[in-house]
Every structure is written in structure tokens, then in C-alpha cells.
Amino acid sequence: MAQVAPAPALDFNINAEQVADIVKRVIAEELAVNNDIAALKQEDQTYENIVAPLARIENTLSGAIQLASSLSQISPDEAVREASVAAEKEYEEFSIEQSMRHDLYLVIQNFIAKADLNSLPAEDARMLRKMEQTFRRNGLHLPEDKRNEFKELRKRLSEVCIEYMKNWSRENSTIKFTKEELEGLDDDFLGGLTTVEEDGVKKYVLTMKYPDVRPVLKLCKNENTRKAHMTAFESRNRENIALLEEALKLRRQCAKILGYKSHADYVLEVKMAKTVQAVREFLDDLATKLHDAGLKEIEELKKIKKEEKAARNEEYDDKLNSWDTSYYQRILLENRYSVDQEEIKKYFSLEKTIQKMLDIYEKVLGLKFVKVPADKAVVWHPDVQLFECWDNVEDKSFSGYMYLDLFPRDSKYPHAACFPLQPSYIAENGERVAPIAAMVANFTKPTTDKPSLLKHDEVVTLFHELGHVMHHLCSRTKYARFHGTSVEGDFVEAPSQMLENWCYDPKSLKYLTSHFETGEPISDDIIDRIVKAKNVDAAMMNLRQLFFGIYDMTIHTSEDENLDTTKLYNDLRKKISLVEAPEGSCGQAAFGHLMGGYDAGYYGYMWSKVFSSDMFFSKFEKDTLSSETGYSYRKCILEKGSSKDGMDLLKDFLGREPSSDAFMREDIGVH
């Protein structure tokens, strides 16, 4: 008899009132448990009536909270989005209150002090150690006046971050251009834009969303148009500058109260890197190694610009501006490698690419995906698809649900990300509660005569975000708090970054492609050019990432009470990335990572990239579709979540200490 998947644990048809009710219910249940534990007399304190109920409540309620807070980014209903923002705020305030309860702290701390943690199962002991660390990081060891001060600062910080992110995700400014000003953009692109009449002239309305900005910066031959769009894009959300600067002050105050030198020191304590010095050395070392290569790449692009300006009879300013980079990189790729993204995307229709990507994940990780028919799937928007995931190696059990929400719409999350909606854990009856994760992106919508077609970098994004989804679906932990991507912040990207390598593997690329009209796979010649082009301008691209990481680390270690975040952003951008920001712009106002959980953590993208390269090139390179290696990876890395330290997981999988050799050789081309 075939197994049947359990019904998804979350209902996406809920209205605004129900969102508010969910949070009220969660708060009531959590409060009751906390009150019971706080009231325990010393002689009555046991593992069963302290740790077990805390773990149970965290396990069973975390899905409801994830749902209530995620709807602000994905729901098409404005009332639901507003209710979700309010719910997230309400729960965040409640959590801060509870995490600062001294009575609860005393009971748990007392139990931990007398418990023999070594005699407990590993995950239970880890849970207790993490609780103890969290209490200390929440300042519960401090005297009452300091605790209260800290609590108020954290509440305000939470409000400021939510406000910043709300502004960022709802940003809706536009810019208008005539058809002539959009020279170089095809009718397909123009046909998808809104138009208006101004003084008898037809103008196209463009937003600051990636599907509008990227094509203009890559393809538009009119430099003034690129400059205007880039300047508007880099100047959006100006109202967020004050919020960011307030957050920096609040974070600095919180760190000092707890006894940390800076906010970055506080954040890094629970990361893989551990110290500010380790991160600084890592970032500075890479920036130094890449500096000369970056200058060389810029000179090469300037040469192309000079030739193009001469051919167009236009003045050449002997500069590579920020609005020039994507444009001349595209010309370089087309000229030297004949990599024409417009041609390549004909081989990557979204639906087929997803199907084949899932086939690769099935083969490598030992999974099986089954699409749920649209009329049976409860989703939050008609564009959303639902898949069941099953284990295909061990016990053929149900692994979890995956939602795909891939097209732009008003007030939806503007980027690409994986939203964990329900963590997995082992319920009291011994059964695993299956996880639910959603991949949210903003790819071009299909038209009546053409499917959604993906450029190669969008294929990489798709593989990357699906990699996060796989981390959730493969996770097998006892507790929700250790589930999936709950690993250290500077390790969280490594599994997904490793999976991006499949997009440059000739065998996998051939398999992924199919021309949307003829069904033909992409030619070996084009594949060869895509692979060779992978590291074109790698120094510039990595210097840009290093700039973001260095900026983030600088603002979060700064002692300057009156820090001008705009000046610092633009100065560092020129110094590190070697390309100036558009005049008058304020890129930090729309740098969502700074306020969305990556504060003092952006370096993690590069840090984890080093480990992802090590994993791929030492284990998968010989046979990228090896089920045996893939299964080892699933068992050693994905299944464990954060039930062990990231460094230990890496060593288990690699069989040795990790190294940066593969990254410098394969990703940067420095031997």
C-alpha cells in the first residue's frame, strides 16, 4: 500500500483576524509553561518538568510563529500582511519579555548547575548548554536595573529593524523612460512594462525591483538611462538611514551592558569565526589578494568602454562608473566568450529547469519529489506550487513539503530566499514532524506565447535557494531549535553555495537544458563558454562582496556615536570595490541584511564560500552526480542541522581540517 503524505500542518487561507489569533494562542501557551516552570520549588526541579516542557513548546509552536511572521512578505492580501507585521512585533516583544525573566532563569540555571550534562543524550545536553548561553547573552546574570535597561533597548531595536524591513520590502518608487532612452532592451521586456502618456509622449514605467533594474543596467545602450536608474535604485529608502543609525547606537549600548567590546564581538561569539580579529584578518587578506586583479579587470572594462564610446560617437570619461559595470561585463562576456545571456535563457525555461533540478537533487541526495495538483494544494497565491518530498534511500518515509513562489507581485518579498515555515522535530509519540519550507523568488513571468526563461545567473540563484530548502527537508533533529538552517550564521550559506557548483558542471548543465521551442539541449560549445566565463571579473565581484562584509563589520565595531553611515558606505565602496557609488546615493538604506538578521554577519557569505568550495572540489568534482557522495553529504551535513558545531560537521564530511586552497584556485583563479 502506497504511503500517503500527511496534510500540511499550516493553513495559508487564514485571514488577518486568524493571524492575530495564532499569536495570541502561542503567547498564552508559552506563558503558561514558563509560569509553571518558574513556580517550581528547588526540590521539585527535574529534567521532565523543566527541559521537556520547554522543548515541547518550542517544537510545537515554532511553525505557527514562522507562518504568522512570513505572511508579511508573501501574502497577496494587504490586511493579512499588516496583521503579520503586527503579529511579528507582538511575538517579538513577548519573546524579549520572556527571555528576560529572572525567575525562569534562576530555576533553569539552578537545574543546569546540578545536572550532569555528560550523562545526557548529546542533543539534550547541547540544548541545555545553548539555553545557558542564551541566558547570559540576554543579560540575566546582570543586576535588575541593568536588565531592565537592556530589555527596553532590545524592544526598541526590534521595532526599528521591523520598520526598516517593512520600508525596504514595500519600496515602490518608479522611474520613467521613453523607448529611445531604453535603447537595447527588447520588445519582450518593454511589453511587460506599464506605460503612461506624458505631454503626448509614451513613457515606460520601471520599478526598483531586480527584474526591471538588472536588464536596464546590463542591456541599455543609453548611459544616461543606466545612470538615472542606478542612482534612483541606490538612493531608495532614504528614510531608512535614520533607522539604521539608531539601530547601530542601540546595538552598541546592548553590547556594552553585556560586557562585550562591540556588537560584532557579541554576534561572533556564537558563529563559526568566533572573533572580530579572525573575521578582519579573513576579509583584509582576501581584499589585499584581490586588489591588483580587480584593478586589472577594471582597466579591461574601461578599454571596452572606450571602444564602444568611439563607435557610438560619444564622449569617453576615462572612468568605470557603477552603472557601467554590468553593461561592459556583458559586452566582455559576449565578445570574448560569446556568452549571450539572451540566447542562453532560451534553454532554461523555468518549469523544465525546476523539474530537472529536482531530478538532480533526487539522484544526489536520495530523495523523491511529487508535485501536488493545483486543485489539491492549499497555497497563498495561484502562482504558488506545492511539492511533496519523500526519502528514496532508507525507509521511503515522508520528508516534508516544499512550496515554490517564483514570480513578482505587488508588496511581495523583493529578493530570492528560502522561508522555513515549519521546522521538523521528534514529537512525544516518537514520530518525526515533517518540515515545510518555501522558496520565494522574482523571476520573469511567463507570457501567452513564452514560458518564463532564466538567465544563467538566475539558474544559479534557483539552485542556491533550493539548496536551503533541501537543508530543511533532509534535517533529522530531535529539537526544532536545531533544525535545518539553524546552523551558525557563517556556515548557513555553505551547503547552498556548494550546490551552485552544479550550474558550472558540464554534465549537469547539459542535463538541465532544453530549448523552449525545439527541446534541444544546449551545445557543448556554449557550455564550455559558460564554464570558462565563470571567473570573468571574479576579483571585482568578490571585492564587492568584501566591501559589504567590511562595511558591516566596520559599523558594528565603530565607537563613533555620530557615525555618518552614508559617507562611510561611499568611501569604503570606492576603496574596497574600486568602483564609486552614484553621487548622492545611500546604498546602506536598502541593505536589508544589516537589519534582517545578518548584522555583523555579512562576511559569512565569503567565509562559507571558502568551505563550500572545499566540500565540492574535494568530494564531488570527480563525479558530481555521485549518489554515494551525495548520501554522505546528506547524512554528515544536512541531516544534522545545528545539533553539532558547523566545524565538526565539516570535518566529519571532509575527513580532515577544512582549507581555503580550492576557493583561491577555483573561484578566484589565484594559484
Residue with cell 578599454: 303
Residue 49 has φ and ψ, to the nearest 5°, of -105, 5
Stretch 369-374: mean pLDDT: 95
Q: Which three cell numbers stand for residue 184?
A: 537595447
Domains of the chain, first to last? 16-99+101-137 (1.20.1050.40), 171-222 (no CATH), 346-539+604-668 (1.10.1370.40)
pLDDT tens-digit profile of 162-198?
Answer: 999 999 989 999 999 999 999 999 999 999 999 999 9
Q: How far apart are CA 262 and CA 602, in angstroms?
A: 16
pLDDT of residue 2: 53
> In terms of pLDDT, which residue wins out, 220 or 342?
220
Q: Mean pLDDT throughout 319-332?
A: 96
How far apart are alpha carbons 416 and 405 in whole angstroms?
Answer: 10
Active-site residue (options: 297, 465, 493, 666):
465
Banded model confidence at residue 664, pLDDT cuts 50, 70, 90: confident
Closest by CA to 155, choosing from 97, 200, 98, is 97
- Closest by CA to 59, choosing from 646, 438, 482, 644, is 482
Counting beta carbons within 10 angstroms of the beta carbon of residue 626, is it exposed (0 to 12), middle (13 to 18) or buried (19 or more)? middle
* Bridge partners, residue 419, by sequence: 438
Q: Exposed (0-12), middle (13-18) or buried (19+): which is 416, by Cβ within 10 Å?
A: middle
Phi and psi for 470 in degrees, rounded to 5?
Answer: -60, -35
Residue pLDDT, tens place only, 504-562: 999 999 999 999 999 999 999 999 999 988 888 999 999 999 999 999 999 999 999 99
Distance CA 381, CA 378 (A): 9
Q: Catalytic residue at 621?
A: no
pLDDT the model gives residue 120: 87
d(CA 645, CA 423): 19
Rama region for 600: left / alpha / beta (φ>0; ψ in -120 to 50; rest)? left
pLDDT at 1: 37
Contact (Cβ atoms closer than 8 angstroms) between residue 78 and residue 13: no
* CA separation, residue 173 to residues 274, 389, 590 (Å): 40, 39, 13
CB atoms within 10 A of CB 655: 10
Q: What does each C-alpha distance from 569 to 143, 185, 199, 213 come to in angstroms?
A: 38, 31, 39, 21
Residue in 594, 561, 589 with CA at minimum distance from that of residue 239:
589
pLDDT tens digit sequence for 239-298:
999 999 999 999 999 999 999 999 999 999 999 989 999 999 989 988 998 999 999 999
Of the pLDDT bands very low, low, confident and very high (cuts 50, 70, 90), residue 669 is low
Residue 533: per-residue pLDDT? 86
- Angle formed at CA 458 by CA 452 and CA 463, multiple of 5 degrees: 110
The pLDDT tens digits for 582-619 are 999 999 999 999 999 899 999 998 988 889 999 999 99
Residues 606 and 494: their CA atoms lie apart, in Å, by 9
Let me know how long the chain is.
671
pTM over 0.85: no
Q: Please tell me which of 136-145, 484-493, 569-578 the model is most confident about, judged by mean pLDDT.
A: 569-578
pLDDT in tens, 450-500: 999 999 999 999 999 999 999 999 999 999 999 999 999 899 999 999 989
> φ and ψ at 390, to 5 degrees?
-125, 150
